[in-house]
Amino acid sequence: MSPESKVQTTEFDELMTRRALELAARGIGQVSPGPLVGTVIVNARREIVGEGFYLYDQTKHAETLALEQAGERARGGTAYVSLEPHAHQGRTAPCTDALIKSGIKRVVAPIEDPNPKVSGRGFAHLRAAGIEVCSDLLIDEGARLNEAYIHYVRTGRPFVHLKLAVSLDGKIATRTGDSRWITGEQARARVHDLRHQYDAIMVGGGTVRADDPLLRCVEDRLCASLSISACEFLRNRNLHKPRMKGP
């Protein structure tokens, strides 16, 4: 914990920070290439007066949405944000400017944004404006929520999730090639959750030729909210692209 972040926190702070993380998670599958961000605005009487979460297609950031909902009730209050607010001009104006202008007196956020354009600068801008900043609360939860984003920013490589469905003896089909749902309904539902979360699905050419998979998110509850369709990548060393099913 840095000296600047050694600010006393309370159980209420933790509760509101968890709420900000919950809001951020509503953007899963709909924020790439940006991070998941949620914001809760609490007034001086500890009443929630504004909430928001980021979606790429809606452009406005979580902080701005929550502040718009709160209006003048934000003045003198606390903003709980799941990730460090940005202080640079990007697709939107700096969120730190909006927080400062609103009269917020305190900002609580679990972790810094590792993006070089943001990292530490957002917190520094808020502190320079006289706003109390408390970070390092629920660090693990904050980092886990944005693990894919953090990995990409730090390494320049995509975050890859390997999905395998195998029998106890390590097989995926019988020797005749017969294979039909080694996994159960819960596991298959989890696969569609994953398809919703990631930007691309990669599969080998052999799998396509043998199974002709749809590679789609078919759960209505997910597809209804999926605004950015996942890409399909085919890995085939023979450079032969077999016919694939349509949507």
- pLDDT value at residue 93: 86
Average pLDDT over residues 56-63: 85
Over residues 79-111, the pLDDT tens digits come to 999 999 999 888 888 899 999 999 999 999 999
Classified by CATH at the fold level, domain 3-155 comes out as Cytidine Deaminase; domain 2 (3.40.140)
One of 3.40.430.10, 3.40.50.620, 3.40.50.10860, 1.20.140.70 is the CATH number of 161-247, namely: 3.40.430.10
| Residue appearing with tokens 């701005």 | 64
Over residues 115-127, the pLDDT tens digits come to 999 999 999 999 9
Average pLDDT over residues 48-76: 92
Which amino acid is residue 59, in one-letter code? T
Q: 133 φ, ψ to 5°?
A: -120, 130
- pLDDT value at residue 43: 96
Confidence class for position 237, pLDDT limits 50, 70, 90: low
- Our answer to whether residue 232 is catalytic in this structure is no
- pLDDT value at residue 193: 80
30 has pLDDT over 70:
yes
CATH 3.40.430.10 domain span(s) along the chain: 161-247
- pLDDT value at residue 244: 45
Q: Which of 51, 63, 84, 112 is catalytic?
A: 63
7 has pLDDT over 70:
no
150 has pLDDT over 90:
yes
Over residues 172-185, the pLDDT tens digits come to 777 776 667 778 88
Whole-angstrom Cα distance, residue 45 to residue 66? 17
Percent share of the chain, pLDDT over 70: 82
What average pLDDT does the structure give for the chain? Answer: 83
Average pLDDT over residues 136-151: 94
CATH 3.40.140.10 domain span(s) along the chain: 3-155
